[in-house]
Amino acid sequence: MLGLTSLFTDMSAEMVSTILPLYLLFHLNLTPAIFGVVDGLYQGAAALVRIFGGVAADRRGHHKEVALAGYALSAVTRLGLLAVGNAWTLLAGIVLMDRVGKGIRTAPRDALISLSSRTEDLGAAFGVHRALDTAGAMIGPLIAFGLLAIAPGAYDAVFVVSLCAALIGIGVLTLFVRNPPIASAAPGQPRLSLAAAARLVGVPGL
């Protein structure tokens, strides 16, 4: 079921990311410098918060809830894209929120796959998930450019379909995925705190 969630949410994400340069440069007429700022936020924000999403999920075993929060945050940004107009600063904030959502959900989603699978089936579980994830990443751009081919300049239509795909993925996660039981940590075993996670961000190679 997590594979289906990733299928629809990656479809949603790639519909937006594929047309984002066209939307920014030719529809909003942003300068290359401003486009560079927005694109930099889009590419880098997820990496900065990924570790915090994993730590937050591990602290109480709420992997599903943290992953769901990340998916929901990204879905909300689709509404923002419809409402933002030509204000590039607001658009940059929406793009940042989308990537933060991706960063929050990635680690707890992978933990859910691992905790829900038998040890001997881990490779197959991650393989199926990756296949569905990749399928969504392939289908999304095809839908986006298909819509623009039918109705040139109809970026809002792309954002609406992207929102619908994201909501389907969230629905699958909400209705069909449960938090697996997690073994308690051994007495005296240290737990990674949010402060320690923040220090890890500065470690080269992480």
Q: What is the mean pLDDT of residues 52-74?
A: 82
**Cα dist from 204 to 111, 200, 201, whole Å:** 24, 9, 8
pLDDT exceeds cutoff 90 at 9: yes
What CA–CA distance (Å, rounded) separates 131 from 149?
27
pLDDT exceeds cutoff 50 at 197: no
Q: Which CATH number fits domain 2-177: 1.10.8.590, 1.20.1250.20, 3.30.60.50, 3.30.930.10?
A: 1.20.1250.20
| pLDDT tens profile 15-30 | 999 998 898 888 888 8
Q: What is the pTM of this model?
A: 0.81
| pLDDT tens profile 119-147 | 888 899 999 999 999 999 999 999 999 99
Which residues have C-beta within 8 Å of that of residue 103, sequence separation ≥ 6?
45, 46, 47, 48, 49, 50, 52, 53, 70
Q: What is the mean pLDDT of residues 152-173?
A: 95
Three-class DSSP labels, 73-116: HHHHHHHHHHHCCCCHHHHHHHHHHHHHHHHHHHHHHHHHHHHH
Using a 10 angstrom Cβ sphere, with 0-12 exposed, 13-18 middle and 19 or more buried, the burial of residue 6 is buried
* Amino acid making up residue 173: L
Q: What pLDDT score does 183 carry?
A: 56
Q: What pLDDT score does 47 carry?
A: 67
Q: What pLDDT score does 200 carry?
A: 47
What CA–CA distance (Å, rounded) separates 37 from 162?
23
